[in-house]
Chains A and B, each alone.
Chain A
Amino acid sequence: MSKVIVPSALLNRVVKPSRYTGQEWNTIVKEQSKVDVSFALAFPDVYEVGMSYLGYKILYHILNGRQEVAAERVYAPWVDMEEQMRNSNIPLFSLESFRPLGEFDFVGFTLQYEMSYSNILNMLDLGGIPLLACDRNETQSFVVGGGPCVYNPEPLADFFDIFLIGEAEELILEIVDCYKQWKQSGRSGGRAGFLKEAALIEGVYVPSCYDVNYNADGTVMSIGLTSKDIKPQVHKRVIKDLETVDFPTRPVVPFGEIVHDRIMLEIFRGCTRGCRFCQAGMIYRPVRERKVDTLVELAQQLVNNTGYNEISLVSLSTADYSCLHPLITALMSRMKEQGVSVSLPSLRIDSFSIQLAQEVQQVRKSGLTFAPEAGTQRLRDVINKGVNEDNLRDAVCAAFRAGWSSVKLYFMIGLPTEEDDDIRGIAKLAYQVLDWYKEVKGRRGAKVTVSVSSFVPKPHTPFQWFGQDSIEQLERKQHLLRDMLKNRDINFNWHDAKTSFLEGVFARGDRRLGKVLLKAWSTGARFDGWSEQFDYENWLTAFAECNIDPHFYANRERQEQEIMPWSHIQPGVEKKFLWREYQQALKQELTADCRRGDCGACGVCSGLGVGIIDWGNE
């Protein structure tokens, strides 16, 4: 084992050098001689972003819970540090043992966002690992991917040995055990031998075991298997009951400020509201809640072990937790004297939430956030966003009465069936909010921020067939809005359409995009999610050189029967449900939340042998 030593002269030259020096509280450094399996948890973005990711806090805890396993953290060095490292021949290293990435048995990457893919290649390269899985030899690391983008991992198929589909708490230990057995067997069958064994585990997808063939028109013809014991469909892994798995109570506490610099307490998983644009709502089904007692106990341990003074209740939509009120009351009464506050992110619009927000005194200058997502009722029905203008009015007016004066509204443009009327609806709503303030307060004084992102169709959603708006269409709509929202009380911001386009290409791309990614990386692509680093022209050149048309992936409307590049990856939500939802959307028909209502027959519960856990149903 070699320890990387970073000279101080080098650290003195970069911004935020403490990103690279480790030593944080609760860091687990194991004695190498006692470790059988080493696992790097690599996050393809900077420290502040990666350290905020709850998934890795969980896996760090679960893996290190095994005596013979060492899990260590690795983040993407910012461009200044990369330059220093390359100049001095310093490999990318972990923050625990300061070992080069290439010395780990496993190098895991979480796929949170398509725009981080170029960073993965860059990190492999900096870590001394061959980029292409087929170029790795017997002694080199196995590169493993997980996270939400793993539901279509195909653009990354060339670079990864293994993908873990779904919740990894149990799965990751099964992989580790499989590896240990393989090592004990004297690495029987070599690298391919291990991959074949791993491929038999439920939830494990080994891309090299599948052969993709294409039609003349570029669509997928078939996804073949390289041997008959390979499963044709990889079903996601799901934890039936969250109470049965460990939650990390000793997360690493950073020195420098990170994006979510507080305790993250996961109160439930999944969301069944069924917004048709939302991939998270489909792939994390069904809803499974933790118990109030468990959560209060976990919160106390977390406070004791970290020293944080803020607890954030996290989930896909916290206001939906069946026992939110009792939970908050219990937490507040216990935490107040300890100087610890409770905060609620991602609130859904209703006046109940305002009351809660008031209770937890989360009266930050930042204001309240609402997400109507679309500007007209018609379009909100299309996307199955079950809110109407009355709901919004009640919530916003309640907020104004409670003393808030600034409100942030989130919308999307480029949704299926969208017309200019829907765009105008966004502006109308913004002005409406200003008027509501006048009604409540009798004077002007509200500040409205309108934040508009561009819709990117994602795999395994009802809109997976939909052709994304072109850059020109998106920019036209953005300009329309900008003209309508010229008002000193309204602040308008929007997302870069080119970034959304590229995100759209990779979200629904296939294996042929691997060479584009490789090309773009080799000519400098990295940190594509950071606008100051994103170089669209570089990407266009890469597509042209590889003779690949990006519009084929982003802007093309698919046929119902088309074989999607991700059709062998199964989150449990069935294709026929998704198609039915798409048709319902076009008819502006709503589908109810199955959490406390009727089952919408999406296929998850029966298909994966799981069920909804909602304490409000008891």
Chain B
Amino acid sequence: MKIRAEISKGDEIRYISHLDYSRAIERALRRAQLPLAYSEGFNPHVKLSFASALAVGITSQSEFMDLELTKTMNIDTIKSCLEPQLPAGINLIRCQQIYNNAAKLMAVVNLACYKVFFSELSGHEQLEKSIHKFNFSDNLLFVRENPKGKKQIDVKEYVQEICCNFYPYGLELSFDTKITPSGSIKPGEVLQALDHHYDLNLPLDDALICRTGLFIEKGTKRMSPFDLIGEK
């Protein structure tokens, strides 16, 4: 039996890596004593897959995972077994059976939505102007640096538009990033690119980033991974 679940990553565990997150869930599943399906081979793994990895420092209101069990179980029973075993910061939001022909999460989820919060920020005007410019420009080049080397990417290929909201207690940016077969962009990189290109001096370390949704976008239609669960 295959199951798709929507779960969260709360502030309590903001700083754990994706690998840590997935391991924490795997251990929770084992504690819940669910009949887990394991991969073949020397080091068997729980058959568990995620829609998209989440970086250290980022929380999420909506993550998706697919899981395989060796027996058929009632969804409510699964929920009630798993919920008490989840560590702080992980909530089970929704859980549903999926069928064999359901597309792999990783292959279909192609849009991630983020909110970024800054509690202290000066120079609002300049930021607003820059974001306006960004929204209307055709491209914004950014050099991604990692241990593998440098690579130039175009932010606009992944992010069309950024929204900006001012609150008495801070400022919030929100944007969607495309996840394409050839890659995506991390929200932290979007901020870095803006900061660098428009010379904003953003307090990047202060940014609280939260993923607010993962979707499947087809043309103008936006679907949830629960809309594509295959057929019996």
Contact = CB atoms under 8 A, between A and B. Distances in A.
Given A23-B12, A255-B13, A307 B30 contact: yes
A25 B205 contact: no
A116 B17 CA distance: 28
Contact of A24 (B19, B42, B87): B87
B57 A12 contact: yes
A339 B16 contact: no
Interface string B20-38: 1101101111110100101
A18 to B, nearest CB: 4
B7 to A, nearest CB: 15
A1 interface: no
Contacts of B30: 303, 307-309, 338-339
B42 to A, nearest CB: 7
Contacts of B89: 23
A18 B20 contact: yes
A23 B87 contact: yes
A8 B87 contact: no
Contacts of A8: 14, 57, 205-206, 208
Given A257-B20, A305-B31, A307-B85, 6 more contacts: A12-B205, A17-B15, A21-B12, A255-B87, A309-B30, A338-B30
Contact of B20 (A10, A256, A307): A256
Interface string B51-89: 000001100000000000000000000000000010111
Interface of B: 12-17, 19-21, 23-24, 26-31, 33, 36, 38, 42, 44, 46, 56-57, 85, 87-89, 203-208
Contacts of B14: 8, 21
Interface residues of A, number: 28
A353 interface: no
A304 B33 contact: yes
A371 interface: no
A307 B28 contact: yes
Nearest to B25: A307
A378 B211 CA distance: 66
B13 A18 contact: yes
Interface of A: 8-13, 17-18, 20-21, 23-25, 253, 255-257, 303-309, 338-339, 361, 363
Nearest to A304: B31
Given A24-B87, A339-B38, A339-B44, A18 B29 contact: no
A11 B208 CA distance: 11
A616 B12 CA distance: 49
A8 B116 CA distance: 13
B44 A25 contact: no
A8 B206 CA distance: 6
Contact of A13 (B12, B24, B29, B205): B205
B17 A256 contact: yes
A13 B205 CA distance: 7
A307 B29 contact: yes
A18 B16 contact: yes
A9 B203 contact: yes
A25 B44 CA distance: 23
B24 A9 contact: no
Given A24-B87, A307-B85, A308-B27, A255 B46 contact: no
A23 B20 CA distance: 13
A364 B29 CA distance: 25
Nearest to B24: A255
Interface core residue of B16, B17, B44 (most chain A CB under 10 Å): B16
Contact of A307 (B27, B42, B44, B208): B27
Nearest to A27: B88
6 contacts: A13-B205, A18-B15, A24-B87, A255-B21, A307-B31, A338-B30
Contacts of B31: 304-307
B27 A25 contact: yes
B64 to A, nearest CB: 20
Contacts of B12: 21, 23
Contacts of B42: 361, 363
A366 to B, nearest CB: 13
A488 B121 CA distance: 58
Task: Please provide the 7 A-B residue pairs with the shortest distance between their CB atoms, ordered closest to farther.
Answer: A307-B27, A17-B15, A307-B30, A307-B31, A9-B205, A255-B20, A255-B16
A363 B206 CA distance: 46
Contact of B87 (A13, A25, A257): A25
Contacts of B207: 12
Nearest to A15: B56
A522 B26 CA distance: 45
Q: Which residue among A25, A255, A308 has the maximum number of chain B CB atoms within 10 Å of its CB?
A: A255
Contacts of A308: 27, 30
Contacts of B19: 257
Given A12-B205, A21-B14, A307-B85, A253 B27 contact: yes
B29, B30, B207 — which one has the most chain A CB atoms within 10 A of its CB?
B30
A8 B28 CA distance: 27
Contacts of A20: 15
Nearest to B207: A12
A101 B31 CA distance: 33
Contacts of B24: 25, 255
